[in-house]
Structure 1
Amino acid sequence: MFKTKICELLGIEYPIIQGGMAWVSDAILAAAVSEAGGLGIIAAGNAPADWVENEIIKAKEITDKPFGVNIMLLSPYVDDVVDVVIKHKIKVITTGAGSPGKYMDRFKEIGAKVIPVVASVALAKRMEKEGADAVVAEGMESGGHIGELTTIALVPQVVDAVDIPVIAAGGIADGRGFVAALALGAQGVQMGTRFVASVECTISEAYKKVIVEAKDRDTVITGRTTGHPVRIIKNKLAREFMKLENSGATKEELEKFGEGRLRLAAREGDVKNGSVMAGQIAGLINDIKPVSKIISDIMREAEEVLSNLSRLGDR
């Protein structure tokens, strides 16, 4: 029922992509999502190329299903990471924090599908001109680095502006959100926060617990004054960061203060002083379950939503 152009493009069963989250999206999580019929993503983040290569090798040992790598284009190791992705002939590459244009020819030479994450219509149109195979239109409900438009406003505008498939991201964690994204014209969804709260996600259990316990207003946006706003769960770090921002701290001071905080939360479990990146949809997530269960539940819920809508139409 839910076979879309994205399924055909990426060779997957369900049009569900796991977000590329630094310090979170490793080989184990990516392989689990791919095995369950979606598309798993290994996030390069700011990690050195040898770490990325090890994760790619590990993922290939776990699954023979398609998976991808997310390249953060502002990483100091980006050129080396691109070399690794080319070496291993990764078939799906998602990108963030810039344009992959300078690498596009190399990606195409290995037959990779390139899917940039965008937060505006203008960037989506530019990515299409540069040869992107699809785009992820990510609303500001998302966790981590965000733009200014909401998912429900951004997605249909991007759909109308480009001829390539659009994947919706931001505020999606169940079958209702999945169907809503398709109704907006998207050909699939990308989810991050929902997959953080999964059995296979290897981050700190404390990080997962914070997401499960979060309420609807428990995320805040930090870093607006730096030009790179980030959505995180309210905690001691968030309060201190916003206090610094309000006091007129420089961009350099704020970046130094925030350095290493995501790893601190995700891998070391310090959810008070670390950056717990999560989307607004965290308030809807109240359990930790296997990735296969997350995906199967979403597809079942989506069918129920469509069935209910059909009955309403018959009245």
Structure 2
Amino acid sequence: MRCKVNILVWKNRVTQLLGVQYPLIQGGMAWVANATLAAAVSNGGGIGLIGAANMPPEILEQELIRARELTDKPFGLNIMLMSSTADAAMELAAKHRVPIVTTGAGSPGKVIERLKPLGTVVIPVIASVAQAKRVEKQGADAVVAEGTEAGGHIGDLTTMVLVPQIVDSVNIPVIAAGGVADGRGIAAAFSLGAEGVQIGTRMVCCSECTVHQNYKEAILKARDRSNVVTGRPTGHPVRCLKNKLSARFEELENAGASIDDIEKLGTGRLRAAVVDGDIEWGSVMAGQSAGMINDIKPAAEIIQTMFNEAADVISRLPHFEF
């Protein structure tokens, strides 16, 4: 006997909270997640994010205005709390009444206190049970539980073990991130108890994403062992694709180089990859799912295909009788 899956399966606390068709958030990737990408994802039925990162406030405000011009759907802003521009990003979110804000790399308390009274949905990205419990007490509306398979800055636990432990620890909705790039991953995330997914690397390879073509090609060429983690001695490890830069990081780390020297090597390297297309000495941040990505399609098509596949996967699961 086969189970029937209706589109209503995607109507849950996350879609209700975010006001979207699909329970999907696009990752707020620095230098990648701009208004063009965010609007494309939102128009495709998910939630697109603009990645504030270290963006100058005047540029970020232009991006927020541009997103409003490109979509009439809900979109969001990711604020990296360790950034020197985090407070300015928070105030711009307040000024422009951004519907959804995700946070990372720090305690979201002040963001929750500032933005929730304005009606903004605040969703911290977390990597441990302790963090999830803490932000729930602070008033977070949901959490993104991000496993170490994700690209960029990462934690230690895999998505497979992190998500169910977070689900068991909090009462707010949990959104799974890290290693999800197709419908099978979405179905797996829901099996673990998540009510939504955050997708990063797959969205880099959508036609609306404005990163340099070399960056996209590097992801398309990636295989299962093309990833590496650099910068562990700094306390802020980063997952990226192997290249000359990652090899140099490894040399410095093995030689016991100072944290200053390691951080100096990384300065400006993400921009070099994303904007200039330097995929040898630039930091090509990408998750382990890069090896699963083989094409470039419009964001809306990627989203619809993934959720159709997820519904099909679930519908084909056997019904066991005991």
TM-score bucket (shorter structure): over 0.9
Distance in 1 between residues matched to 2:308 and 2:89, nearest whole Å: 37
Distance in 1 between residues matched to 2:314 and 2:114, nearest whole Å: 42
Cross-structure match for 1:87: 95
Distance in 2 between residues matched to 1:270 and 1:11, nearest whole Å: 38
Distance in 1 between residues matched to 2:108 and 2:286, nearest whole Å: 25
Cross-structure match for 1:97: 105
Over residues 130-178 of structure 1, what are the superposed CA-to-partner deviations in whole Å (9 max), with x where a residue is unaligned?
0100000000000000000000000000000000000000000100000
Q: How do 1:174-253 residues align onto structure 2 when only pairs under 5 Å count?
A: 174-253=182-261
Distance in 1 between residues matched to 2:292 and 2:131, nearest whole Å: 30
Cross-structure match for 1:66: 74
Q: Which has the higher contact order (CA 8 A, sep 6+)?
A: 2
Distance in 1 between residues matched to 2:121 and 2:171, nearest whole Å: 15
Cross-structure match for 2:141: 133
Distance in 1 between residues matched to 2:172 and 2:133, nearest whole Å: 10
Does structure 1 residue 268 correspond to structure 2 residue 276? yes
- Paired residue secondary structure (2:316): helix
* Aligned residue type for 2:192: L
Q: Calculate the TM-score normalised by the size of structure 1.
A: 0.98
Identity of aligned residues (%): 58
Distance in 2 between residues matched to 1:246 and 1:99, nearest whole Å: 32
Cross-structure match for 2:152: 144
Moved over 2 A (4+): none
Over residues 112-134 of structure 1, what are the superposed CA-to-partner deviations in whole Å (9 max), with x where a residue is unaligned?
01000000000000000001000
Distance in 2 between residues matched to 1:102 and 1:57, nearest whole Å: 24
- Paired residue secondary structure (2:262): helix
Distance in 2 between residues matched to 1:249 and 1:4, nearest whole Å: 49
CA-CA distance at 1:109 after TM superposition:
2.0
Cross-structure match for 1:159: 167
| Selected match of 1:30 from 38, 43, 46 | 38
Cross-structure match for 1:53: 61
Aligned positions, number: 314
Structure 1, 75-84 or 143-152: larger mean CA deviation: 75-84
Distance in 2 between residues matched to 1:159 and 1:299, nearest whole Å: 21
Q: Which runs of 5+ in 2 are unaligned?
A: 1-8
* Aligned residue type for 1:3: K
Distance in 2 between residues matched to 1:241 and 1:161, nearest whole Å: 37
CA-CA distance at 1:195 after TM superposition:
0.1
Cross-structure match for 1:12: 20
Over residues 261-288 of structure 1, what are the superposed CA-to-partner deviations in whole Å (9 max), with x where a residue is unaligned?
0000001100100000000010000111
Distance in 1 between residues matched to 2:313 and 2:19, nearest whole Å: 25
* Aligned residue type for 1:81: A
- How large is the RMSD of aligned CA atoms in angstroms? 1.1
Over residues 270-310 of structure 1, what are the superposed CA-to-partner deviations in whole Å (9 max), with x where a residue is unaligned?
01000000000100001111101101110111121012104
* Aligned residue type for 1:90: V
Distance in 2 between residues matched to 1:142 and 1:265, nearest whole Å: 18
- Paired residue secondary structure (1:309): coil
Q: Which runs of 5+ in 1 are unaligned?
A: none
Distance in 2 between residues matched to 1:35 and 1:121, nearest whole Å: 33
Distance in 1 between residues matched to 2:201 and 2:11, nearest whole Å: 24
Distance in 1 between residues matched to 2:269 and 2:147, nearest whole Å: 23
Q: Calculate the TM-score normalised by the size of structure 2.
A: 0.96
Over residues 57-99 of structure 1, what are the superposed CA-to-partner deviations in whole Å (9 max), with x where a residue is unaligned?
0000010000000000011111111111110011100000011
Distance in 2 between residues matched to 1:12 and 1:113, nearest whole Å: 13
Cross-structure match for 1:288: 296
CA-CA distance at 1:103 after TM superposition:
2.8
Distance in 1 between residues matched to 2:112 and 2:142, nearest whole Å: 13
CA-CA distance at 1:313 after TM superposition:
4.1
Over residues 215-260 of structure 1, what are the superposed CA-to-partner deviations in whole Å (9 max), with x where a residue is unaligned?
0000000001111110000000000011011111111111111000
Does structure 1 residue 119 correspond to structure 2 residue 101? no
Distance in 2 between residues matched to 1:186 and 1:284, nearest whole Å: 21
- Paired residue secondary structure (2:317): helix
CA-CA distance at 1:203 after TM superposition:
0.4
* Aligned residue type for 2:159: T
Distance in 2 between residues matched to 1:27 and 1:82, nearest whole Å: 17
